[in-house]
Amino acid sequence: MGPYDASIPTGSGSCSSSSSSSCARKASDVDGLLAGAGYKVKSSDLLQVAKRLERLETFMVNTPSEISQQLASDTVHYNPTDLASWVDSLLSEFNHNYNQPHSFSSSVSDLSDFTADLHFSSVPDYWIEKNYTSPPHHPLTAVAAAATEEDSGIRLVHLLMTCAESVQRGDVSLAGSLIDYMQTLLSQVNRSSGIGKVAGYFIDALSRRLFYPQAVCAGSAFENEIWYHHFYEACPYLKFAHFTANQAILEAFDGHDCLHVIDFNLMYGLQWPALIQALALRPGGPPFLRITGIGPASPDGHDSLRGIGLKLAELARSVNVRFAFRGVAASRLDHVKPWMLKVGPAEVVAVNSIMQLHRLLSSEESLDTVLAWIRSLKPRIVTVVEQEANHNEPEFLDRFTESLYYYSTMFDSLEACTIQPEKTVAEMYIQREICNIVSCEGLARVERHEPLAKWKARLGAAGFWPLHLGSNAFKQANMLLTLFSAEGYCVEEKEGCLTIGWHSRPLIAASAWQAAPDPPPDPVPTPAPHVVVSS
Amino acid sequence: MAGGNEVNLNEAKTVVPLNTWILISNFKLAYNLLRRPDGTFNRHLAEFLDRKVPANAIPVDGVFSFDVVIDKATSLVSRVYCPVPVDEAQPGIVELERPLSTEVVPVIIFFHGGSFAHSSANSAIYDTLCRRFVGICDAVVVSVNYRRAPENRYPCAYDDGCAALKWVSSRPWLRSGKDCKVHMYLCGDSSGGNIVHNVAMRAVESDIVLLGIILLNPLFGGEGRTESETKLDGKYFVAVQDRDWYWRAFLPEGDDRNHPACNPFGPRGRSLEGLEFPKSLVVVAGLDLVQDWQLAYVEGLKKAGQDVKLLYLEQATIGFYLLPNNNYFYTVMDEIKQFVRSNCYLLKLQNSSNK
């Protein structure tokens, strides 16, 4: 009998005093108290986990501390919420290197060697720590209606909600008067920052919804391109998306030579030069890379997809990576058919979706169709980055409220950017999203953001298993943040996914997936035995 | 090295429930991997491993929370936890212009633990703890996300504490009671407890009134080695050399543990005699190796004629208040509730007798 006999109360509290059957029922549940601390451990596994922690401690006590720390820092950690597997991964690292104090570094296979050049020069870990003058210590989020704003700011928020509520009820005349009143109030508030700035965009979007519902929210192709590039430079959200996805793709492609990346929205191809460069530096030589870029057909007839492809090919040539590009023009992802992607039999496929899946949510069928054909390609990895927000609730007021807080936070983070004109022009990129969420409906409303939890459920149901993003991606995402002067950005790990946010409100979430193996075919049913009951 | 290479884990296992043992051991081992002998800290890995939770404006078990920026310049943020008022039509929208209520609602300014280096206000364990305080004390809790060592040494954490105190005291919407004031308490565990004392010291020199302070397993120390440090070294999750590392990371470089921030009643400390120091509740765990320093703190307060209540929990280890699975947890929560609400009762009496 170990030290944990039945008399010591366990986490569920009531187990020791209740009947054995209720104990059995609870055994397969996650320990509720540890869950409140952020850890998922099944009650039935508690003893096992405790034993493994003990074993880990024994290893650590018998290893010099410098080596323990080096091991910890070189190891890629995954999903600390799953405490059992985290402890196990450390155990296997220590076990592997136990009694081999001098060869530990060579035994840890880690992609950080060649991905370090992805965006920055590789510097030893301790150098970064020592030179932290103002480290990102992940402060918490500020809500739009925070106490730091003056009275008119708070009043504006209340009025916006009241106006949105009257819009939802169909009371056009009240909504209209409220909009007029808010415009006047706006003139008394500082419009260049904080609530004044955000309110302006939302008032504008509300008035569009009421009076110009047919108006299109996007700018011209030229404008969109300018806004995108400025947003890309002014804040880290897009770079985080590209960078994290690339890291995951690189890891998934490790050991393979015939690679095919399918990009769900090529845009200006900004994600790919870094990947191409990283592949060029791969030990053992670069593989063959094909990129298929999906994007809308250019209105003026000129093949913009091909143009980007040519630039990428040029870059690939300059670093000796064998490269091929194909553009697939489609106005919607559900118009794409798998045969258009021409996936070769020997190719290892990565599907990359940066803020595209939510656009399919105007019809459940569209998303199901696309997820099904993604799966049919048997991709090695599917990288998904989405806005971490609930902007697709059925009720307008809920969408409005959510997006008000979400974009307030995002504008807050932009405010901290000092580069001009990036900052002002970047706002147009955001304004376009606000406009779409608030003033559009039906198929026109494409910015149907949903939170990570919902995406996890959808992807799980469609036959995908999560691939965890680890501490290496986390660390490098943090290093990306050091390029941005603003203090409030933070990267967080959440059960194998990474989020980037401002003052701890996550705004963008990145996750990676693989197709679950096909279930085995149903066994051929055997005929029921002929039963004779004799009396 | 104390204890040699033999892992002496048997004592801890017999005094705490299994899930507590797992939680605290997990922290212990993870933290070992983060502290480097050269005094630096693996901040990236620390943030990766720390389990965090977002604020939630939707009430859960009668408590909702939101984050506020207190000082943009230092990125000082706090998480505010509010009880859902029984009579309010729209919970979740904080009426930032009106006082909380005509009944007294205590405001507890909370400083999380982590030996000055670990955890944040949005760490899951502390979010959970703060929510419990709201429910038990019917109070508003403001959890301060102070700057941590070794990147930010003394006095950053205290400066942040003072900034938070000033901020709380000047919020019209945190006022309550017929006297329409902000009724403030300080509370903290581990390094948070140390911050509580040091912020209270500064408050005494200002015109800010603190109704009371609560120190849970507060971190104090000194250059000498006390009996409890020697006897309990390495036995209940904590080793003396780890404690030393954290002091070296927090105190000014080159300074020693007799610095008054660490050792308020030591050779470099000062007497609090004659000062209007708030009444205090100090909780000491009987299996915490720094208890001699904590008891010396209580003695120091008593000698100076201050109102201090000591709650000594014989078989409690560090972190016992993190999970509600032991009697000490409930004892301490009851004491804290009494401590905080007794003022409310007194004020009520005062106010009704003033009519």
Reported as a pLDDT band with limits 50, 70 and 90, residue A21 is: very low
* pLDDT tens digits, one per residue of B244-292: 999 999 999 999 999 999 999 999 999 999 999 999 999 999 999 999 9
Average of per-residue pLDDT across B195-205: 97
Catalytic residue status for B271: no
Per-window interface: A 28-67 vs B, CB < 8 A: 31, 33-34, 36-39, 41, 46-47, 49-50, 53-54, 56-58, 60-62, 65-66
For the beta carbon of residue B129, count every other beta carbon within 10 angstroms: 24
Phi, psi of B6 (to 5 degrees): -80, 130
User: A300-309, B58-67, B107-116: which has the highest mean pLDDT?
Assistant: B107-116
Distance from the Cα of B307 to chain A's closest Cα (Å) equals: 34
Q: What does the pLDDT read at residue A151?
A: 66
- Note whether B57 contacts A: Cβ–Cβ < 8 A: yes
Question: What's the confidence (pLDDT) of residue B160?
Answer: 97
Region A513-531 average pLDDT? 71
Verify whether the Cβ–Cβ distance A31 to B66 is below 8 Å: no
Q: What is the pLDDT of residue A27?
A: 53
Please indicate whether, in this complex, the C-beta atoms of B171 and A57 are within 8 angstroms of each other.
no
pLDDT of residue B108: 98
Mean pLDDT of chain B: 90
Please tell me the predicted confidence (pLDDT) of residue B263. 97
Q: Using CA atoms, how far apart are residues B288 and B30, in angstroms rounded to an integer?
A: 19
Task: Check: CB of residue A180 under 8 Å from CB of residue A171.
Answer: no
Q: Confirm whether B71 is a catalytic residue.
A: no
Instruction: Write the DSSP string, B283-316.
Output: EEETT-TTHHHHHHHHHHHHHTT--EEEEEETT-
| Interface test mutation site (partner A, options B76, B77, B100, max chain A beta carbons within 10 A) | B77
Question: Is residue A120 scored above 50 in pLDDT?
Answer: no
Entry field: residues in chain B: 355
Q: What is the mean pLDDT of residues B139-157?
A: 97
A432: contact with B, CB 8 A cutoff: no
Secondary structure of residue A158 in the 3-state scheme: helix
> Is A27 at the interface with chain B, CB within 8 A?
no
Asked if B325 is an interface residue toward chain A (Cβ–Cβ < 8 A), one would say yes
Contact A437, A402 (CB under 8 A): no
Which range has the worst mean pLDDT, A119-133, A414-428, B339-353?
Answer: A119-133
Q: In chain B, which among 171-200 make CB contacts under 8 A with chain A?
A: 171, 173
Task: Report DSSP state, residue B252.
Answer: P
Taken in order B135, B137, B143, B149, the sign of the CA dihedral is negative
Quote the minimal CA–CA distance from B231 to chain A in Å: 20
Q: Cβ separation of A3 and B14 shorter than 8 Å?
A: yes
Q: Which residue type sits at A277? A: Q
In terms of Cα–Cα distance, which of B2, B142, B14, B4 is closest to B81? B142
Residue in A500, A519, A264 with CA at minimum distance from that of residue A367: A264
CB B86 within 8 A of CB B173: no
Backbone angles phi, psi at A198, to 5 degrees: -65, -45
Distance CA B290, CA B284 (A): 9
Residue of B nearest to A142 (CA): B68
For B77, counting Cβ atoms within 10 Å of its Cβ (0-12 exposed, 13-18 middle, 19+ buried), the class is buried
A121: pLDDT strictly greater than 60: no
Query: Minimum mean pLDDT among A134-148, A204-218, A333-347, B199-213: which range?
Result: A134-148
How would you write A59-79 as a 3-class SS string? Answer: HHHCCCHHHHHHHHHHCCCEC
Contacts of A146 in chain B (CB under 8 A): 66, 68-69
pLDDT-derived band of residue A528, with 50, 70 and 90 as boundaries?
Answer: low
pLDDT at A12: 37
How is residue B48 written in tokens? 């990766």
- d(Cα B107, Cα B99) in Å, to the nearest integer? 12
| pLDDT confidence of residue A378 | 93
Q: What is the reported pLDDT for B149?
A: 96
Q: Using 50, 70 and 90 to split pLDDT, how confident is the model at B89?
A: low
Q: What pTM was estimated for this model as a whole?
A: 0.76
Distance from the B35 Cα atom to the nearest Cα atom in chain A, whole angstroms: 8
Tell me the pLDDT tens digit for each residue of A23-38: 444 556 899 999 999 9
Chain B residues with CB inside 8 Å of A58's CB? 7
Is A4 in Cβ contact with B41 (below 8 Å)? no
How far away is chain B from the Cα of A492, in angstroms, using its nearest Cα? 7
Mutate to test the interface with B, among A4, A8, A140 (most CBs of B within 10 A): A140
Cβ distance B17 to A57 less than 8 Å, yes or no, reads no
Going by the DSSP 8-state scheme, the letter that residue B210 receives in this structure is -
> Is B171 within 8 Å of A147 when comparing Cβ atoms?
yes
Cβ contact B43–A126 (<8 Å):
no
**What pLDDT was estimated at residue B339?**
96
Whether the upstream peptide bond of residue A451 has omega within 30° of 0, thus cis, is no
Burial-class residue B125 by CB neighbours within 10 Å (0-12, 13-18, 19+): buried
Instruction: State the Cα–Cα distance between residues B55 and B131, nearest whole angstrom.
Output: 11
Q: Within an 8 Å CB–CB cutoff, is residue B271 touching chain A?
A: no
A212 versus B265: which is more confidently predicted? B265
Among chain A residues, CA nearest to B168: A147
- Where helices occur in chain B by DSSP H, the ranges are 10-15, 18-34, 43-49, 124-137, 156-169, 191-204, 227-232, 240-250, 291-303, 327-353
Residue B101 has pLDDT above 80, yes or no: no
**DSSP classification of residue A134:** S
- Which residue of B1, B75, B329 is the best one to mutate when testing the A interface, meaning the one whose CB has the most A CBs within 10 A? B75
**Would the CB atoms of B125 and A37 count as touching at under 8 Å?**
yes
- A506 at the B interface (CB within 8 A)? yes
* Chain B residues close to A134, C-beta within 8 Å: 151
Q: Are the CB atoms for A52 and A87 separated by under 8 Å?
A: yes
pLDDT of residue A189: 76
Bridge partners (DSSP) of residue B313 are B285
Tokens linked to A513 = 């997936």
How many CA atoms lie within 13 Å of B156's alpha carbon, on the beta-carbon side?
19
Q: Between vectors from CA B126 to CA B123 and to CA B131, what angle results, nearest 5°? A: 125
First to last CA, chain B: 67
Q: A428-455 burial string, b = 16+ CB within 10 Å, else e? A: bbbbbbbbbbbbbeeeebbbbbbbbeeb
A487 pLDDT band, cuts 50/70/90, is confident
Query: How big is the CA angle at A254 (ends A251 and A259), to the nearest 5 degrees?
Result: 100
Using alpha carbons, list the distances in angstroms from residue A209 to A184, A195, A392, A443, B110. Answer: 19, 21, 17, 15, 45
Q: What amino acid occupies position A120? A: F
Cβ contacts of B249 on chain A, cutoff 8 Å? none
Cβ separation A9–B54 shorter than 8 A: no
Task: Give the lowest-confidence range in B223-237, B314-328, B338-352.
Answer: B338-352
pLDDT (tens digit per residue) in A240-250: 999 999 999 99
- Which of A 181-240 lie inside 8 A of B, CB atoms? none
Q: Which is it for the CA torsion B195, B200, B203, B204, positive or negative?
A: negative
Tell me the pLDDT of chain A averaged across its residues: 81
Are residues A138 and B75 in contact, defined by beta-carbon separation less than 8 angstroms? no
The predicted structure's pLDDT at residue B119: 97
Which B positions 9-38 lie with beta carbon below 8 A of chain A? Answer: 9-10, 13-14, 17-19, 21-23, 25-26, 28-29, 32-38
Q: What is the pLDDT of residue A153?
A: 75
CB contact under 8 Å between B151 and A135, yes or no, is: yes
Contact status of B48 with chain A (Cβ, < 8 Å): yes
B79: which chain A residues are within 8 Å (Cβ-Cβ)? 140
Is A72 part of the contact surface with chain B (CB cutoff 8 Å)?
A: yes
pLDDT of residue A7: 32
- % of chain A residues with pLDDT over 90: 56
Instruction: Tell me the per-residue pLDDT of A450-474, one tens digit each, with 9 for 90 and over.
Output: 999 999 999 999 999 999 998 889 9
Is a pLDDT exceeding 50 seen at residue A142? no
Give the pLDDT confidence score for residue A35 in this predicted structure: 94
Instruction: Output the CA torsion sign for A452, A457, A461, A467.
Output: positive
In the set B190, B191, B228, B280, the catalytic residue is B190
Q: What is the tens place of the pLDDT at every residue in A84-119? A: 999 999 988 887 765 444 333 333 333 333 233 222
Distance CA B152, CA B148 (A): 5
pLDDT at A530: 53
Rounded Cα–Cα distance for residues B281 and B306 (Å)? 11
Give the closest of B18, B121, B148 to A140, CB-based.
B121
